[in-house]
Amino acid sequence: MIARKSKHVYIGSAGLYRGGERKDAMTPGMPTIDAAPSESDAPGGVRQRDAANTRQCLLQAARRRFAHDGYAATTVRDIATDAGVNVALINRYFTSKEGLFEACLTRAVEELDRPIPESDTVELMLQTMLRHLAELPSGEHPLGLLLLLRSSGDESAERIRRNTFRHFAERLAAAAGWRPDDAETEHLMLRAQIALSVGFGIVLLRTTSGLEALSSASAGDLAGPLGDVFAALLEPAPDARP
């Protein structure tokens, strides 16, 4: 018995994925960014042309696949099918599979880094993390953090990843009082990185461990425990702690 690659059909909480053999259902219509195929695209209809839209569709589909299955496990054909788009267009718009992944990563980093309220506090960073752990208003899980964990092996993508990690670690550490070259506060960097680990660990186990309580927890459910963790790690304790 050969364990063939699973062409799984995702039925996420809010329809993360539509069925596998999208091609039959979609083409030749206009690629749609989200949810069910729009009513308007008749099966025999005319393929409309909209470069920006197809680009977005590809990005969206790629984000989901990459985040969920990892880089190596997803094929460009998977992505194209999900997006309801011809495979060759991936290379047209993103040069290569690596290019597409890098585009996903870049967009994810932008999303994660958007709210920079100048003065960081541990509390604010905690809320940002919470927002990216839990469900979006649209009902979809945020994929940015997850994407950051899916390495492609490509050098330039890897650099983006590492820079992002370092950037957030430093922001978090700084919010907790860490200052560069200050040996006195050096331990805070490690603690900030551990705090970061918590977030990534949660997002990973939420999506891949099958732990019921964790994967179904809402932002509100996580707020309490996660607040305790951040406080224990980064808030100066009453009794001095090396």
Residue 238's φ and ψ, nearest 5 degrees, are -55, -50
Q: Please, what is the minimum distance in Å from the beta carbon of residue 40 to a second copy?
A: 36
Taking CB under 7 A as the criterion, the residue among 20, 28, 70, 177 binding DNA is 28
Q: Please, what is the minimum distance in Å from the beta carbon of residue 190 to a second copy?
A: 4
The region of 10-18, 92-100, 139-147, 208-216 touching DNA under the rule CB under 7 A is: 92-100
Q: Which residues bind a second copy (CB under 8 A)?
A: 2-3, 5-6, 8, 69-73, 96-98, 149, 151, 153-154, 161-162, 165-166, 169, 189-191, 193-194, 196-202, 204-205, 208-211, 213-214, 217, 221-222, 224-226, 228-229, 231-233, 237, 241-242
Sequence-ordered alpha helix ranges (H) in the chain: 22-26, 51-69, 76-83, 88-94, 97-113, 122-133, 144-149, 155-175, 186-208, 212-215, 219-234
Long-range contacts of 168-175 (CB under 8 A, 24+ apart): 168/112, 168/196, 169/193, 169/196, 171/120, 171/125, 172/120, 172/122, 172/125, 172/196, 172/234, 174/120, 175/120, 175/121, 175/122, 175/124, 175/125, 175/234
Q: Is 51 in the site for DNA (CB under 7 A)?
A: yes
CA atoms of 37 and 60, how far apart (whole Å): 15
Q: Which is nearer to DNA, 78 or 196 (CB)?
A: 78
Q: Which is nearer to a second copy, 40 or 208 (CB)?
A: 208
Q: Is 8 in the site for DNA (CB under 7 A)?
A: no
The region of 10-18, 25-33, 125-133, 183-191 touching DNA under the rule CB under 7 A is: 25-33
CA atoms of 110 and 104, how far apart (whole Å): 10
**Residue ranges that bind DNA, judged by CB under 7 A:** 1-5, 27-28, 31, 46-51, 53-54, 74-77, 85-92, 95-98
